[in-house]
Structure 1
Amino acid sequence: MFAGSTAEGAALLRAAGALLRDRNLRGPDRLAADMIPWALRASALVKVPVIRRIMPWAIERRMPGSVWFELARTKYMDDVLRAELAAGTTQVVLLGAGFDTRAYRMPELTGANVFEVDHPVTAARKQARLRGRDIGHVRYVTIDFNREDLATRLAANGYDSTAKSVVIWSGVAPYLPAGAVSGTLRWMSTQAPDSCLVFDYVWQELVDGQVATRLARTLLKAVNRQGEPFRSGIPRGRTTEFLAEHGLAVQEDNGPDSFDPYVTRTDGSAVGPVWDFGGIVRCRVPQ
């Protein structure tokens, strides 16, 4: 088994991407390997010199498309975050932060109000693995999503819902029931006008078992085996309508055809395959 949870799995993919030799292809998350615990499973090999260089290819052999999708997701969301901060946004929410390291590896976040929202157990594990690093600029907002209200927990930790925000929601929505996804989107729609949300999704058709590609079958088996199956998606081709129903306006809806700039080598050739049954959407609160 490569990783013990979806949060650790995403960190492993980012760590593998950061090990790629091609500088144009290489992922930006140099801290991701620190989020992987030493344990009796294959994921720990990403921390071992020499051996770790084979990890991107070993993972791709077992889970085709995963490393390349995570590269595209991480690089794209980093670009969105930089653009929003450059445009004057000063409040950042990492929703379902897991082992996201943006607050510690991106100098652009210096001076921003950063809120990392996650379950208390995950937050505690992350802070333990960050031991020795400066984490004073980050506000950790712990929440039991089944019992507590997101707006209330954020407000209790100094979040200003009237200030323009950028919300990163990476690798979370597909694992939530539809009602929880809708609730989060409705919360987002009540934030300050022109606030930005970027998140990834899978097609509802994948959740319903109607996508029969090899990549889809391999991924579904993996998430089911981990006990964290996909629970909701967006119908293919209906992202704009889906988000409009929740009070949000799509700015960019990126499918697999949009990922090439993020998975291209220095010589101009693209790696692949990339997961082709979902996308990454950037949407806004209407002004």
Structure 2
Amino acid sequence: MKRISLTIISLLCIAGCSSLFFYPQKELFENPYLKLVSYEDVYFSTSDGLKLHGWYIRAKDKSKGTVIQLHGNAENISTHVNSVLWLTLEGYDVLTFDYRGYGRSDGKTTLDGVHTDAQAALETIIKLPNINKERIFIMGQSLGGAIAVYTVATSPYKKYIKAVIIDSAFSSYRGIAREKLGLFILTWPFQYPLSLLFNDYYSPVKWIKQVSPIPILILHGKQDSIVPFHHGDILYREASSPKDIWITETEGHIQSLVEKEQRDKLIKYLEGIN
């Protein structure tokens, strides 16, 4: 009976593994904050032929650089953009885009696909006219932080990236899957064997050393209940220099930059990178 139960749960897990990571929303929500900034729709293609949608948001004054946002696993850019809009007031252009299956982007969301999408976004920025290619930063939040590590580590455009900001990311797809499986009565007894069903190839802990010599800044809250702090600590310890970690006591997930003090600190960090 135990073997049969494990088989059934395994089949269910295989059928829906990606749903543990991806919760895309197709509808773009009306965002009143966008009326306060200058932005344009951007469409670009991936290497496997899908069309993705994003927004390029101009800095309020003369641009100091461009930040590419890789957002988290739920909703779409119409909500995630709020966490980076403040950068435009500090002189930074922002590219935010939706992975395949999210918002106005084509396709079905897959683990392989979202990593392909991030590479396409970086290539798009490099090829846009009037972009200062000497001042490109990547900010990945939650799932986006995990995607950012692999993207920078393997990108042919790595030399253009000035720094990577990894905000509240997990260290391993398989590891975070095991932790989430352990939260449910049905899957708790099988959390270890079931976690082996998850693709761990892209796990940031496996690639973060290869981000060097690009500076890495890891942000993580000690009170993060979605992606516990130990994930950020693991990534910091595995990363090669130059690296830094900022630990906050703010409750919630992706909350390290909600306070003005932390935002000011980040701007000084970006401006201090030559």
TM-score (normalised: structure 2): 0.40
Q: Which has the higher strand share?
A: 2
Q: TM-score, normalised by structure 1?
A: 0.39
